[in-house]
Amino acid sequence: MPDPEGATVKTKRQGQRLARKVSAEDHVRGSPLAKTTLVAYGDFASPACAKTYGTVKKIQKEMGARLRYVYRSFPQPERFGHSEDAAEAAECASSQGRFWEMHDSLFEGETPTDQVRLQRHAAQAGLDVIRFRREMLAHAHSDKIRGVRQGGVRSGVAAAPAFFINNIRHESSFGLATLLAAVQAVSGG
């Protein structure tokens, strides 16, 4: 993989395969018939993941129906204090059928650094805030989040963001030009 200076760096992760295939439990945008699937492991509290969010939106627009996008939470509480809370908030939104609204709100809005901000995101996403609070207090979705994160670790993910294109780890830059070129190469242009 290229490092920031452009030199090629080989890693043991090159060619790493996705350990858990896309399923009905995943958060998916796009058709299951799309030729290309981009799986992202991300952390709603990570500035790097927020930056790649914009990149992915542009790729989705460019690729249209040829791309299926899957988002999997990979909280990094050791780096970002409210990382697990933000992942939990997204799953609470999912239980109300509004995952993508919360996903977008978390990445586009103020950084989710406390429960008050998470509740503002819930309101912006159109959630039943009382139900949201109840699920957050009960940590109703922590087992699912832990399972998704463990699947990422089994796939070789050590930090977010991490991307897989058609089940193969993308090891190069996450910039628009590089990631779009990799997705287009797999889809045939």
What are φ and ψ of residue 62, in 5° steps? -65, -45
The verdict on residue 182 lying in a domain is: no
The verdict on residue 18 lying in a domain is: no
Q: Inform me whether the pLDDT recorded for 154 exceeds 80.
A: yes
- 1 burial type by CB count under 10 A (0-12 exposed, 13-18 middle, 19+ buried): middle
The secondary structure of the chain as a DSSP string is -B-TTS-B---TTTTPBPSS---TTSEEES-TT-SEEEEEEE-TT-HHHHHHHHHHHHHHHHHGGGEEEEEEE---TTTSTTHHHHHHHHHHHHHTT-HHHHHHHHHHSS---SHHHHHHHHHHTT--HHHHHHHHHHTTTHHHHHHHHHHHHHTT--SS-EEEETTEEE-S--SHHHHHHHHHHHHT-
What per-residue confidence (pLDDT) applies to 189? 66
Query: What's the whole-model pTM score?
Result: 0.90
Q: Which domain holds residue 80?
A: 30-173
**What mean pLDDT comes out for the span 120-139?**
96
The verdict on residue 89 lying in a domain is: yes
Instruction: Specify the length of the chain in residues.
Output: 189
The verdict on residue 59 lying in a domain is: yes
What per-residue confidence (pLDDT) applies to 1? 38
Residue 39 and residue 163 in contact, taking contact as beta carbons nearer than 8 Å: yes
Q: Inform me whether the pLDDT recorded for 127 exceeds 80.
A: yes
pLDDT one-digit tens code per residue, 79-125 = 998 999 999 999 999 999 999 999 999 999 888 778 899 999 999 99
The verdict on residue 43 lying in a domain is: yes
The verdict on residue 61 lying in a domain is: yes
- 116 burial type by CB count under 10 A (0-12 exposed, 13-18 middle, 19+ buried): exposed
pLDDT one-digit tens code per residue, 7-59 = 333 334 456 999 999 999 999 999 999 999 999 999 999 999 999 999 999 99
The verdict on residue 75 lying in a domain is: yes
The verdict on residue 181 lying in a domain is: no
Q: Residue 62: give its domain's CATH number.
A: 3.40.30.10
- For the chain, the domain total comes to 1
